[in-house]
Amino acid sequence: MLAVTKLFNKSENMAAIPVSDTRNWLRSVAERRDRHAFEQLYGYFAPKIKGYMLRQGADDASADDLAQETMVQIWRKANHYDPQKAAVSTWVFSVARNLQIDRMRKHKFYEVALNGDTSSNVENLQHNEQLEDCPDTDRLRKLIGELPEEQMDVVQLAFFEGLSHSEVSCRLSIPVGTVKSRLRLAFGKLKLGMGEQI
Amino acid sequence: MKINHHADDATIMAYAAGTVSEGFSLVLTAHMELCSHCRERMSLASDLGGELLSELEPAPMSQEGLSNVLSAIEADTLDPVTPFKSPSVSGEMASILSAYVPHGLDELPWQSLMPGVRQYQLAGIESGNGSVRLLSISPGIRIPHHTHLGGELTLVIEGAYEDEIGHFKAGDLADLDASCNHQPVAVGNRPCICLIATDDKLRFTGLLSRMVQPLIGI
Ligand SMILES: [Zn+2]
């Protein structure tokens, strides 16, 4: 019951696909409705999204359907993505998360617009040729990898098992206050490491 | 707008993970529309979600998955570029709230709770066993001492209040957990209007017997 399976795939097979590729694919989808690029995105993200839905408690068929549906939304909303504000994976995660809340939890989820100027993100895509990773995903990945296991367990239960603080507390048999302090410690390290003045 | 009180890091992470109630997401969105400090932390928490997703072990998709998706988008007749409309912030009230308060705070059918305290419950928002309500507290009125079953988020919309934690004015968010006891008192020369979401999602009924019933349901 206490088992928190390791979600990180240390075999590094993901490293074969650089972040810039996913962004180029998404850009082609947004600008040119490029179906080939979309198939690349599908190949990379759909199985991960399905994995996410499974962790949230969907059965295999539902997780497959939800991953398909998320991909359709990615196609339809591709022009909402702003490469200067977020990594592709961040945006894909939010689309998958919102769909999961709508279909599995069956309630609305209010989401604040995190991007500043959103009048035309397609322009941003075009004017951002010498693409630099705006959120430094390599640095973030390294910082996440350095989190102590007990903090990582709590983070993963929240993000993947969809557990609230009190549910994490119950699962791990630790007080809610401990759940929150581990989350704060983990987040503090990420903030510090990312150099955010926040 | 200078904002002094913010969402806790743990709350921000729960929001990014999508595990907060609809009511909490409403109050957090209303605060973050005004608060760049919380928006920045929300960005980082969302990046964390994206990074975790990237590293998640893939689950093989069904054979027909891709063809299903391709035929769904084939049927799309949508214009490829639909302009994205970001919410506009009018005055000091978060735009997300205008749907619930279309004609202004004065026009709401407020209900009297006790002398100097009125409430308006927002309907149709999923909050588990909790609720989302607006509270209007007249200057000098003190809300009776109470504890919470779950967490509580309070966003000040107008006016100000003070409690053991500090001074809260328009835009400030109080992020309280179940262990917190407080006795807010409205200060200034006009009513303090707050948006309050409670989130009591305890599934373990054995605990309930040990809880103190909140005095006025806040
Ligand atoms: Zn804030």
Domain ranges of chain A: 16-125, 136-198
CA distance A89 to chain B (A): 4
**How far does residue B35's CA lie from ligand 1's centre (Å)?**
5
pLDDT tens-place string over residues A12-24: 444 467 788 899 9
Query: Among partner residues B19, B59, B150, which is closest to A162 by beta-carbon distance?
Result: B19
The verdict on a CB contact (< 8 Å) between B49 and A7 is: no
What is the CATH code of the structural domain delimited by A136-198?
A: 1.10.10.10
Most distant CA pair in chain A, distance: 51
The verdict on a CB contact (< 8 Å) between A7 and B52 is: yes
Amino acid at B141: I
pLDDT at A19: 80
Give, rounded to a whole angstrom, the gap between the first and last alpha carbons of chain A: 36
Q: Which domains does chain B have, with CATH numbers?
A: 1-55+96-218 (2.60.120.10)
Residue A66 sits at the chain B interface (C-beta within 8 Å): no
pLDDT at A20: 83
CB B43 within 8 A of CB A135: yes
Strands of the B173-176 sheet, one edge to the other: B111-114, B117-121, B132-137, B192-199, B151-158, B173-176
In a mutagenesis test of the A interface, which of B48, B67, B204 is the best target, namely the one with the most A β-carbons within 10 Å?
B48
| Cα gap A185→A192, rounded to integer Å | 11
Query: Which residues of chain B are within 8 Å of residue A52 when distances are taken between CB atoms?
Result: 53, 56
Q: Which mean pLDDT values do the consecutive 10-residue runs of chain B (218 residues) have?
A: 93 96 94 94 95 94 96 74 46 74 89 91 85 93 71 93 93 84 88 89 34 39
**How far does residue B172's CA lie from ligand 1's centre (Å)?**
7
Query: Which residues of chain B are within 8 Å of residue A49 when distances are taken between CB atoms?
Result: 53
pLDDT at residue A43 tops 60: yes
Tokens of A103: 């279909």
Query: Among partner residues A47, A106, A164, which is closest to B19 by beta-carbon distance?
Result: A164
The answer to whether domain A16-125 and domain A136-198 are alike in fold is no
pLDDT at residue A10 tops 70: no
Residue A142 sits at the chain B interface (C-beta within 8 Å): no
Distances, alpha carbon A141 to alpha carbons A157, A158, B51, in Å: 18, 18, 7
The verdict on a CB contact (< 8 Å) between B72 and A64 is: no
CA-nearest of A107, A80, A106 to A92 is A80
pLDDT at A84: 81
pLDDT at B111: 93
ipTM given for this complex: 0.85
CA-nearest of A152, A160, A141 to A183 is A152
**How far does residue A25's CA lie from ligand 1's centre (Å)?**
34
pLDDT tens-place string over residues A113-157: 875 433 334 444 444 444 454 558 889 999 999 999 999 999 999
CATH 1.10.1740.10 is right for the domain spanning A16-125 = yes
Residue B41 sits at the chain A interface (C-beta within 8 Å): yes
Query: Which residues of chain A are within 8 Å of residue B69 when distances are taken between CB atoms?
Result: 42, 46, 68, 71-72, 75
Angle at A186 between CA A185 and CA A188, to 5 degrees: 65
The verdict on a CB contact (< 8 Å) between B10 and A180 is: yes
pLDDT at residue A68 tops 60: yes
What global pTM score does this model have? 0.85
| Cα gap B24→B196, rounded to integer Å | 9
The verdict on a CB contact (< 8 Å) between B72 and A166 is: no
Query: Among partner residues B37, B52, B150, which is closest to A160 by beta-carbon distance?
Result: B52
